[in-house]
Structure 1
C-alpha cells in the first residue's frame, strides 16, 4: 500500500467520523471538493452492503440457498443506492420550490451521501431481539444527518430542511421494509 492510498483511507475514515457526528462543516464543504462525490457514493455503497449483511444473517437462519443469498445481497445494495438517488431527487425538487435560487442536483449528492454514514453500522441489526430497534435508531440518525446536510447545502433553516427531508423519508423506509419482507417470503417459498 502506497502513501496515497493510506492517505485516502484516513481521509475517508475522518469524513465518515465527521458524518456520524453530524458535523455541519463537513456538510457545508461537501460540494467544494471533487473527491467528495466519490467518497459520498462509497459511503452509500458501504451502507447498502452493511444493510445486506444484516439481512443475510436472517436468510441464513432460514437456510436460504446460496443463489438467494447473493440475489438478496444485490437487491439490498441496489435498493439502498436507488433510495439515495430518489431521496436526493425529492429533496432537490422540493428545494427548487422553496429556494429562490435553484440548487443544483449534483451539489446535493455529496452531503446526502455522507448522511448515509450511520447506515454503515446497519450490520448490527443481526443482534437477536435488537435488530429492528437498531435499524430504527440508525434510520432516525440518518434522517437527522440528512436534515443537517440539507440545511447546509441549501442554506435554509433547520425547520425547512426537516420538512423537505420528511417528505420522502417515510416512503423510503416503507420500501426498504417491503424489500426485507419480500426477501424473507421468497426464501420461505423456496425452502
Structure 2
C-alpha cells in the first residue's frame, strides 16, 4: 500500500506539533500533502471559531445558524492562510531567490497550523488570551522549522521570510484586500442572521441590556431595509 500524507495524517500532525524536522521532511515527500494541509487548516479554523463562539452566544445566534457560522468561519480562515502563504512565497522569491512551487509553501504552512487545532481552549476563562498567544508563537515556530527544511534556509532566513510574509499579508489585507474583508463580514452576518457585534464594548452592552437590545437592533435593521436604506 502506497504511503500518503493522509494515511499518516495524525503521525504528521503530532510531529509538526512537536516541531520535529523529520515530520516536515516527510510532508514534502509524501503524496496528498496539500490535501492533508487543507484538512489541518479547516480543523484549526473550526476550532478557533468554536473557541470564539462566545461572541455568537452573546449575539443570540440560533443553533443551526451557530453551526453554519462555525463552518463559514472555518472556510474564511482557510483563505486567510492561503494569502499568508502567498505573501510568504513572494517574499522568499524576492529576498532569497527561492523559486519553488507554491504548493510547498502551502503544505508547510498548513502543517505549521497543527498547534491551532487546540484553539478551542481560548474559550477558557482567564486563560484564553495566554493560550492564544502561546498557540500563535507555537505556530510561528513550526512554520519557521518547516520553511527551513523545505527551502533549505537558515533559521534566521526562515524567520525573516515568515515574519515579512505576514507583514506583507497584513498590509495587503488593510489596503487592496479591504473589499474582500467586507464581503467576509457580510457573509458572516448573513449566515448568523444578525449584525454581529464583535467589539468588547458592544458585547458588554449586549450582556447588560439583554435580548431586548438585540431584538430592537434587528427590528431597526429590518425597517431600514424596508425603507430602502442601507
- Structure 1 residues not aligned, in runs of 5+: none
2:24 equivalent among 20, 23, 27: 27
For residues 34 and 111 of structure 1, what CA distance do their matches in structure 2 show? 14
Would you say 1:109 and 2:117 are equivalent positions? Answer: no
The CA deviation at 1:53 is 0.7
Would you say 1:96 and 2:93 are equivalent positions? Answer: yes
The CA deviation at 1:169 is 3.2
Alignment RMSD = 3.1
Which structure has more RCO (C-alpha within 8 Å, separation ≥ 6)? 1
For residues 158 and 214 of structure 2, what CA distance do their matches in structure 1 show? 44
Q: Which residue of 2 aligns with 1:13?
A: 10
Q: TM (normalized to structure 2)? A: 0.68
Structure with the larger helix share: 1
For residues 149 and 15 of structure 1, what CA distance do their matches in structure 2 show? 12
SS in structure 2 opposite 1:22? coil
Larger radius of gyration: 2
1:160 equivalent among 157, 161, 165: 157
For residues 183 and 148 of structure 1, what CA distance do their matches in structure 2 show? 37
Q: Which residue of 2 aligns with 1:126?
A: 123
The CA deviation at 1:183 is 4.4
The CA deviation at 1:61 is 4.4
Could you list the per-position Cα deviations for residues 138-176 of structure 1 after superposition, in whole angstroms to 9, with x for gaps in the alignment? 11110111111111111111101111111243639x989
Q: TM (normalized to structure 1)? A: 0.81
Task: Note closer, same or farther for the CA distance 1:61–1:190 as it changes in structure 2 (3 Å cut).
Answer: closer
Contact 2:91–2:165 under 8 Å retained in 1: no
